[in-house]
Amino acid sequence: MAYVKKTYRDLEVVRGTTLVVPSVSIGNVPQLATDLLIHNLAFERIAHLKDTYLYPFASPVDYATGTSIDGATTGAGISTALEVFYSAKFNLTLLQQRSPIITTFTDKFIKEIITPFVNDNEFAGVLMLDSGDSGLRESIVQGTVETYTNEDLLSKSIESLKLNDSIKSLRDVEYVNSKYIKNLSGSLGTDWLNVLVIYVYEGENFMEANILAQKVVDKLEIKVEEWVKPVSWKGVYGDKPVPVAMEEGIYG
């Protein structure tokens, strides 16, 4: 398998599972939601995929509060740009992408990495996570999640779209025609493919990540009592309370 860089377990275990795939988009909300899924649904890291077409990335292995460093992963030390996680408990596979696709290499990334990975492993279904700009959708409230199905993504005209909400303008379907989503959905050999799109403004998007993660488990009929946040989230905007007076300093 040319798309695999390193494995910790035989990828045969993911056959027949449901695959969750985040895109790198506004606010990094899909990545943040994926972090929540990794640390709350008993996932273990089982492989690194080749990241040739992604910007270079490496970081320490993340973990959730109250667990060991490897509490949600297998393999010590370093996280890379494209990793595969598996949850035997929930029959799920998750592909975490932590770095954007290098400009002009979207087609190669889809054709040489994602499509063969999905088609070779015969997943029961694929659930993609994405985020859109609330500023471009006047009728959409921030944090709104829309679901697109196979038919929606492959539609050739507005009339044939089958969205949950009524279409108010051409702008409303621009997302459906995005190159990455449309090309990827058209290349996958799966009968069940859904995309969850959350509309946000760029900024501190932890709340939206929780909303999207909750939508995923609702879609998959999984119950999570309370979301445990990974330690890495503490360092994004600092780990001190927001200052209430100027004498405390702007950043606390």
Give per-residue pLDDT as tens, 193-235.
888 999 998 888 899 999 999 999 999 999 999 999 988 887 6
CATH number of the domain where residue 203 is located: 3.40.50.10900
Distance of CA 44 to the CA centre of its chain: 16
Structural domain tally of the chain? 1
Tell me the residue range of the domain where 65 lies.
4-248
Residue 177 has pLDDT above 90, yes or no: no
Query: Can you say whether the dihedral through the CA atoms of 81, 113, 187, 86 is positive or negative?
Result: negative
pTM of the model: 0.82
Phi, psi of 180 (to 5 degrees): -65, -50
Between 230 and 75, the more confident residue is 230
